[in-house]
Structure 1
């Protein structure tokens, strides 16, 4: 089980971020690449996927394929990813990909495009499944297999980790593995911090579930692109006014890769670029900067 919680963090005085170039805010965009690694009986799973799709509230189909769900996921790898790739590369904006190893292995062309754009490819685990009740030995083996498969597919081991659907053991297992510059399985702060619970100072670069396109496919979430744009803009402007903060934006090809949503995202990216005092960076760049500016 995980060690005690930390409800205090930096308190009233976060450390100086010292973002490069005197930037007031660091902004990073994450594309979650999960398609092909979700629950599916073709993958040996007990049933179909039921999470993060246009069919909000759908139920998994035990022992059977759910063809509509499969095609909704397939949109992400077939069309949505490429729309996002064009959006970001046209603006020369750096991106971090949270790549599920099995999903990356299923689409070498997408991996090549990520690498040609000099995007960071962090590990999003072996499979896009819920590890809450997976036993520790199996989860440890999956972490090792994820690293090995990721390395074979991309040519280098991942330096960042984000499992997403974690277990109580995940943070400890990642720290014990020891090879990650940063872990992103936290939503606990607006700046990086060190998790010292598991025998070493593991750098955490927190992620986000609020500045995230997943709210398009949630009850009472974003109905269209305009509230999404406003939420991202207001988050950016508030953190920018505070100074020394980080804004993460979570994206999925099968969600924000849809045309109307991508248009709203493009407006926000342009807003950030026009600000003149934002450092737009990959998560690995933020991690390396923090390690130097605020060592453990």
Structure 2
């Protein structure tokens, strides 16, 4: 049953660490190598990107756009976050981790969380129960093999299924981000067990550079995200607000866009009242204080 009210006028009495008024979660999506590619033996090539001339056969052009993420985008983003001393959640497709385990290991070495983002970069729509159970387990196993730790967080690309949350609880996940309906975490009942939802966001997300051209420049993206942060910080005097900022190695990792991330991090530092944390840190704090 849909919940169209949420917390209503009664927000939970949860405060972020050190009295900070906003929890900020940067999510760096790691999908490179998990996209569809005829050169990898798939029947088709990935159809979502800045390339407009679709090819039925091998397409080294679109393949190379994805390769940019691991070859250059990762290092650019990782070093920028390290310079700011800010952690993020690496939302990783299992096949991407299997093919580039060094990247997941480097993320952990730098103090970031690695969470699950499906096996391939694809929607879960149409997956049967056993097929989806395998997808979740296989993704988690790939992350554990690379990092030594089973992931605790999950985000399905696009549509989850009626089974997703039950399967995540079954396989020991702490939270999922398969919702876009709030700026505050909340818990749901899954077969009699409480399960945490950390809502995600598509507006404060660099995907808008390619899907809608909503942001023409990095400055526009930074301005929009900083405006969102300022408003949520204002509401944070009363509500335990959370801001999700979605990034992609091959998108914001480009030289003409990376300055946006630097500007956002500088703005948050200047405000001084935001808590930049991994989604796992946010989830554990919430569960410890929300009752």
Q: Assess same fold via TM > 0.5.
A: yes
Tell me the equivalent position of 1:128. Answer: 121
SS, match of residue 50 in structure 1: coil
Matches within 5 A, 1:47-86: 47-51=44-48, 53-55=49-51, 58=52, 61-62=55-56, 64-86=57-79
**TM-score, with length taken from structure 1:** 0.92
Runs of at least 5 residues in structure 1 that lack an aligned partner in the other structure: none
Tell me the equivalent position of 2:9. Answer: 12
Deviations 1:82-116 (A, max 9, x none): 10001100111011100111111212332222111
Deviation (angstroms), 1:186: 1.1
* C-alpha distance 147-112 of structure 1, shift in aligned 2 (>3 A): closer
Tell me the equivalent position of 1:246. Answer: 242
Deviation (angstroms), 1:196: 1.4
Matches within 5 A, 1:106-255: 106-243=99-236, 244-255=240-251
Q: Could you tell me whether the CA contact under 8 Å between 1:190 and 1:206 is conserved in 2? A: yes
Runs of at least 5 residues in structure 2 that lack an aligned partner in the other structure: none
Matches within 5 A, 1:254-273: 254-273=250-269
Tell me the equivalent position of 1:45. Answer: 42
SS, match of residue 103 in structure 1: helix
Deviations 1:27-56 (A, max 9, x none): 1111000000011234443211012x223x
Q: Could you tell me whether the CA contact under 8 Å between 2:124 and 2:157 is conserved in 1? A: no
Deviations 1:231-269 (A, max 9, x none): 001000000000121111000010000012101210111
Q: Could you tell me whether the CA contact under 8 Å between 2:112 and 2:278 is conserved in 1? A: yes
Aligned counterparts of 2:15 and 2:33: Cα–Cα separation in 1: 39
Tell me the equivalent position of 2:287. Answer: 291
Aligned counterparts of 1:229 and 1:35: Cα–Cα separation in 2: 24
Q: Could you tell me whether the CA contact under 8 Å between 2:39 and 2:59 is conserved in 1? A: no
| Residue range with higher mean Cα deviation, 39-48 or 234-243 | 39-48
- Count of equivalent residues: 288
Deviation (angstroms), 1:65: 2.3
CA-based RMSD of the aligned residues comes to: 1.7
Aligned counterparts of 2:191 and 2:249: Cα–Cα separation in 1: 34
* C-alpha distance 204-59 of structure 1, shift in aligned 2 (>3 A): farther
Q: Could you tell me whether the CA contact under 8 Å between 1:175 and 1:202 is conserved in 2? A: no
Q: Could you tell me whether the CA contact under 8 Å between 1:28 and 1:280 is conserved in 2? A: yes
**TM-score, with length taken from structure 2:** 0.93
